[in-house]
Amino acid sequence: MVMFPTPRVVAITLVCALALFVPTAVPGRLAAQERQDEATDALQPSPEDEGALEAPLPGQDELLRRLEATERQLQKLQAELSSDRSTDPDLKSDAPLESNGVDQTSYLADGDHPPSAAEFRSLSKQFQDLKAGLEKKKYPTVEIHGVFQVDSGWIHQTQTSRDSVGDIQDGSSFRRARLGANGKVVDNMSYFIQMDFGVLGRPTFTDVWMELNEVPILGNVRVGQWKQPFNLEVASSFRYTMFAERSLLFQSFAPFRHIALGFYDWAEDESATWAGSVYRSGQDQYGGSVGDNGNWAFTGRATWLPYSNAEGDDYLNLGLGYNYVSYKDRNARFRTIPEFFVGESAAQTPIGTSGLAVPGPVNGMPAFVDTGNFAANHQNLLGTELLWVSGPLTVMSEANYNFVAQTNGPAVGFPGMVAQAGYFLTGEHRPFNKKLAQIDRIQVREKVGYDAETGCWGWGAWEVAARYSYLNLNDANIAGGQLQDGTLGLNWYLNNFAKVQFNYIRAFLDNPTKGSSTTDIFGVRGQLDF
Which stretches within 334-472 are classed as H helix?
A: none
Tell me how far apart the alpha carbons of residues 75 and 81 are, in angstroms, rounded to a whole number.
10
Residue 460 backbone phi and psi in degrees, to 5: 75, -165
Q: Is 85 helix (H, G, I), strand (E, B) or coil?
A: helix
DSSP assignment of 278-325 equals EE-S---TTS----SSS-EEEEEEEEEEEEE-TTSSEEEEEEEEEEEE
Q: How far apart are CA 162 and CA 234, in angstroms?
A: 31
Quick check: 450 and 467 in contact, CB under 8 A? Answer: no
Alpha helix segments (H runs only) across 346-413: none
pLDDT at 279: 94
What is the CA 225 to chain-centroid distance, rounded?
Answer: 16
Cα distance between residue 280 and residue 262, in whole Å: 12
CA 19 to chain CA centroid, nearest Å: 39
3-state secondary structure of 507: strand
SS (H, E, C) 139-185: CCCCEEEEEEEEEEEEEEECHHHHHHHCCCCCEEEEEEEEEEEEEEE
Omega cis (within 30) before 140? yes
SS3 428: coil
Query: CA gyration radius for the chain?
Result: 30
- C-beta neighbour count of 481 within 10 angstroms: 23
pLDDT one-digit tens code per residue, 289-342: 787 777 899 999 999 999 999 999 999 999 999 999 999 889 999 999 999 999
pLDDT score, position 23: 40
Specify the pairing of strand 331-332 against strand 374-390. Answer: antiparallel
pTM as predicted: 0.76
Cis before 203 (ω within 30):
yes
SS3 27: helix
Rounded Cα gap, residues 508 and 360, in angstroms:
31
pLDDT at position 511 is 97
DSSP label at residue 433? E
How does strand 369-370 pair with strand 335-336? antiparallel
Dihedral angle, C-alpha 232, 236, 242, 243, nearest 10 °: 90
Q: Which is it for the CA torsion 73, 74, 78, 80, positive or negative?
A: positive
CA dist., res. 181 & res. 193, Å (int): 5
Q: Please report, in angstroms and rounded to a whole number, the separation of the first and last CA atoms in the chain.
A: 58
* Residue 261, CA atoms < 13 Å, CB-side half-sphere: 2
Q: In 3D, which of 16, 47, 63, 29 has the Cα closest to residue 440?
A: 47
pLDDT means over runs of 10, the chain (530 residues): 46 43 39 38 43 44 69 71 57 48 50 65 77 79 96 97 96 95 96 88 86 96 95 95 96 92 97 96 76 86 97 97 95 96 80 73 92 96 98 98 96 98 98 97 96 90 98 97 98 98 98 97 98
Confidence at residue 201, expressed as pLDDT on a 0 to 100 scale: 61
DSSP 66: H
CA distance 430 to 312: 9
- In eight-state DSSP terms, residue 88 is -
Query: Given its phi and psi angles, is residue 372 left (phi above 0), alpha (psi -120 to 50 degrees) or beta?
Result: left
Please say whether the beta carbons of 281 and 258 come within 8 A: yes
Instruction: Name the residue among 400, 351, 433 with its Cα closest to residue 44.
Output: 433
